[in-house]
Amino acid sequence: MKQVKYLLFAFLPVFLLLPVDAQNKRASKAYTTFDAGEYYIAVDQFKEAYQRTTDKKEKLHMAFYIAECYRKMDNAPQAALWYGKVIAKDYENPLSVLYYADALRKNQNYEEAKAQYQRYKELVPDDPRGSDGILSCDFALQWIDQPTGYQVEEMKFINSKNNDYSPFYSRSDYQELYFTSSRDETTGNAEHGGTGQQFADVFFSSMDKKGKWSTPLPLPETVNTEAEEGTPVFSPDYNTMYFTRCNVSKRKALGCEIFSATRDGDKWVDVQSLGLADDSTVIAHPALSPDELTLYFVSDMPGSIKSSEGINSKDIWMATRASANAKWGSPVNLGSPVNSPGDELFPYVHADGTLYFSSNGHIGMGGLDIYKAVKSESGQWQVDNMKYPINSAADDFGIIFEKERESGYFSSSRKGKTGDDIYSFLLPPLKFSIVGVVKNEKTEEIIPEAIIKSIGSDGITLDTKTGRDGIFRFTLKPGTDYVFIAEKPGFLKGKERESTKGISQSTEFKTEIFLASIETPIEVENIFFDLDKADLRPESMVSLDKLVETLNDNPNIVIELGSHTDSRASDAYNVDLSRRRAQSVVNYLIEKGISRDRLVPKGYGESQPKTVDKQDNAAYSFLPLGTVLSENFINGLSDEDRQEMAHFLNRRTEFKVLRTDYSGK
């Protein structure tokens, strides 16, 4: 895992169940090494003691601590292996189940991890990490199944066999990167007891005109020392650099500080601590706001949120100043929802003010996930997971962006044994289009040579014509609502809607627009009246509102509203009832703003029984296509239910176009 992060965790007190009978020297030495954060060394010491110990209880304790070493070394496969051994023997510390679940999740074994989180939830119901783990597994599977549009690629020319992470642009053309690395060329020869690698330093690499990155080189010893340096960030003019330096000695923590340095040609001078806290406190991972007046950083100083074990977690803090030359004020904890009982690390501030950070305390895919935090007008942070493929089951952190586009770099341990590497990412411009076909509403036949108009919420209107196949195409813009209107002589206009708002992936939409012929009556579906009454029932309003929309879309037509009844009353009664019902429909349309002189009510009674069309036949297969639902036909049906269905079809409201030259004058 991250070298600087190792230093942040190396010297935390251990609140786990320590064995009381670890009397042999090998075991005692291993526990001491573990407490000092030198997990790379401690794991071998524990393994040696484990092999030589015959006491079963002591052996089980050691197996747990071997798993702990692998967990803190970010070796999820080995951690899962040893935690599995521990819980198989019912180890007394329930954290072994939680950490086993975490390791399985980091191995992308989400189903088994979910089962172990459920087990931990039953063991420790008050700890939210059980429920959060279950949710994390569910969301991870969903995000992998529905990835965002980011394209991710490993930076092979920069990465080494050791840890490489936390890149940052050091020039405005984005052609030079500073980053943290523990490769062999670091200053000093000391080996990090937590990783077995060199103490990290700050390196840089430049891209040539052919797009090839140069061999990374370390910064001079004004910045890099035998201590641990990393996480460089720059002021907007790239003349000031901020970075982390962690000083260590054998078995003792000396804290981490944030330093600044000033560019002088190719050199970095005036290297000095910002003095945000005393030199025994962890202050790390600087991030600078675009106006240079706010500095975000990571610390577990007093005031940090307590972890579930009761110790201070790593939180994101901030300090402000009145001007670029003023001193930084007192640190302030960002609080929730940014910070959690887990660890929040590696903050970054986009040019637009958006805060990005990594955390293992929020719902996520595995280890550290990258999150995006936007502050609302009320000052509240809205935190969202960046999802897959920016995030993975492994640790993902240290993201940066170009100013004008969704492109940049981040760090990840997703390759496994090679440790942390740097990856590039790019969100290609979203491409949207729509392909549609125009059909006859009744027959579903293709309608060629129809005029299609595209009206966008951006104010742009385009038109095209369908070919012989009735198909049309348009290119669409992101974040735009569209209405597509189709028209052809002899038909009413038809329309469909589509929107690219909120769509995060390039999409080709498909649609159908149906046009109604004005040569035959058009049924207005779902118009209902109470028995023997002409008052419209409330459920009829939806269909009538659609008719209002049709009349507004076709302002040149005059229509006849025809109401039809079944045959179960006298002719005179049915004509009068249907006339009153037709008038009720007309009255409703007038109330909705349709001109009275565009509407002609007509009561047909039972005189025009319905002819079964394709849609009727699909819904009622016992009615042959083209059959006239006369009184004699209905009476000849086999049972009362079928007769009632046929009567229902006859009770209908239709409109037909009388004129297409209405002008409103």
What contacts 158, CB < 8 A, 6 or more positions away?
164, 177, 179, 205, 213, 216, 422
pTM of this prediction exceeds 0.85? no
**Within the chain, which residue ranges are assigned CATH 2.120.10.30?**
151-426
Four-way CATH pick for 432-515: 2.60.40.1120, 3.40.47.10, 3.30.565.10, 2.60.120.10: 2.60.40.1120
Query: What angle, 0 to 180 degrees and rounded to 10, lies between the N-to-C axes of helices 95-106 and 56-72?
Result: 40
Residue count of the chain, please give it: 665
Tokens of 418: 């090679």
Chain centroid, CA 250 distance in Å:
44
DSSP character at residue 76:
H
Picking from 479, 476, 468, the residue whose alpha carbon sits closest to that of residue 501 is 479
How far is the CA of 276 from the CAs of 166, 259, 284, 293, 536, in angstroms?
22, 10, 10, 15, 75
Q: Can you tell me the distance from the alpha carbon of 123 to that of 134, in angstroms, rounded to the nearest whole number?
A: 14
Report yes or no: 512 and 498 within 8 Å, Cβ to Cβ: no
* CATH 1.25.40.10 intervals, the chain: 3-145
CATH 2.120.10.30 matches 151-426: yes
Amino acid 407: pLDDT: 97
Per-residue tokens: 427: 């969100």
Residue whose tokens read 């046929």: 646
* 473: nearest Cα among 439, 432, 505, 433: 433
CB 611 within 8 A of CB 628: yes
Residues of the chain with CATH 3.30.1330.60: 522-659
Backbone angles phi, psi at 625, to 5 degrees: -60, 130
* Segments of the chain assigned to CATH 2.60.40.1120: 432-515
Specify whether domain 3-145 bears CATH 3.40.50.300: no
151-185 burial, b if ≥16 CB within 10 A, otherwise e?
ebeebeebbbebbbbbbbbbeeebebbbbbbbbeb
| pLDDT at res. 251 | 53
Inter-CA distances, 436 with 53, 474, 494, Å: 74, 9, 12
CATH topology of domain 522-659: 60s Ribosomal Protein L30; Chain: A; (3.30.1330)
* Buried-state track 344-368, b at ≥16 Cβ within 10 A, e below 16: bbbbbbbeeeebbbbbbbbbbbbbb
What is the rounded distance in angstroms from the CA atom of residue 64 to the CA atom of residue 268? Answer: 46
* Residues of the chain scoring pLDDT < 70: 1-23, 248-254, 417-418, 665
* 248 and 228 Cβ atoms separated by less than 8 Å: yes
